[in-house]
Amino acid sequence: MEITIMVKVYQMTESVFMTSMIIGVMALSAFFSGLIVTRFIHYFKLKNILVTTSILRIFTVSALYICINSENLLLIMILLMVQSFFSAWSAPAGQSIIPLLFRREQLREINTFLSTTNEVIQAVGWSLGGILLLYLESDILVIIILCLFALSAVLASLIKLNQRISKKEHKKKRFKILLTHPVVLNITVVDMLESAANTIWTSALLLSFTLYVLNADEMVWGHINALYFAGSIIGGIVLVTLLKNTEFNLFSLIIICGCVMGALTLIMTISGNTWTALAAAFFMGPIYQIRNIYQTTALQMYTDDENRTTVFSARSAILTPWNGVAVMMMGFLAEVTTITTVYILSGVIYILSSVLVYILSRNIMNVPAAENE
pLDDT at 171: 46
State whether the Cα torsion 30-36-38-44 is positive or negative: negative
pLDDT above 60: residue 369:
no
Tens digit of pLDDT for each residue in 75-100?
877 888 888 787 777 777 777 787 77
The answer as to whether 125 is a domain residue is: yes
pLDDT above 60: residue 168:
no
State whether the Cα torsion 91-22-63-115 is positive or negative: negative
pLDDT at 279: 92
Distance in angstroms (rounded) separating the CA atoms of residues 173 and 176: 5
CA dihedral in degrees (255, 256, 261, 262; nearest 10)?
A: 60
The answer to whether the beta carbons of residues 227 and 206 sit under 8 Å apart is no
The answer to whether the beta carbons of residues 116 and 233 sit under 8 Å apart is yes
Distance in angstroms (rounded) separating the CA atoms of residues 201 and 119: 14
The answer as to whether 165 is a domain residue is: no
Cβ within 8 Å of residue 325, ≥6 positions away? 24, 27
Confidence of residue 373 (pLDDT cuts 50, 70, 90): very low
Domain that holds residue 13: 2-159+171-361
* Rounded to 5°, angle at Cα 100 from 98 and 106: 65
Which is more confident, 50 or 184? 50
pLDDT at 61: 80
pLDDT at 114: 73
Among 36, 152, 174, CA closest to 94: 152
Q: For the chain, give the mean pLDDT.
A: 76
The answer to whether the beta carbons of residues 235 and 286 sit under 8 Å apart is yes
The answer to whether the beta carbons of residues 245 and 112 sit under 8 Å apart is no
Tens digit of pLDDT for each residue in 265-321?
999 999 999 999 999 988 887 887 777 777 777 777 777 766 777 777 777 777 877
- Listed range (126-135, 186-195, 283-292, 299-308) with the worst mean pLDDT: 126-135
**Residue 171 three-state SS:** coil
Distance in angstroms (rounded) separating the CA atoms of residues 344 and 266: 6
Backbone φ/ψ region at 48: left (φ over 0), alpha (ψ -120 to 50), beta = alpha
The answer as to whether 18 is a domain residue is: yes
* Rounded to 5°, angle at Cα 72 from 66 and 76: 65
The answer as to whether 7 is a domain residue is: yes
What does R_g of the chain's alpha carbons equal in angstroms? 20
Using N-to-C axis directions, what is the helix angle for 305-336 and 73-101, rounded to 10°?
150
The answer as to whether 12 is a domain residue is: yes
Which is more confident, 2 or 368? 2
The answer as to whether 15 is a domain residue is: yes
Task: Quote the pTM value.
Answer: 0.68
The answer as to whether 372 is a domain residue is: no
The answer as to whether 164 is a domain residue is: no
**CATH number, residue 325:** 1.20.1250.20
Q: CA distances (Å), 45 to each of 30, 42, 49, 163, 302, in order?
A: 20, 8, 6, 7, 22
Domain count along the chain: 1
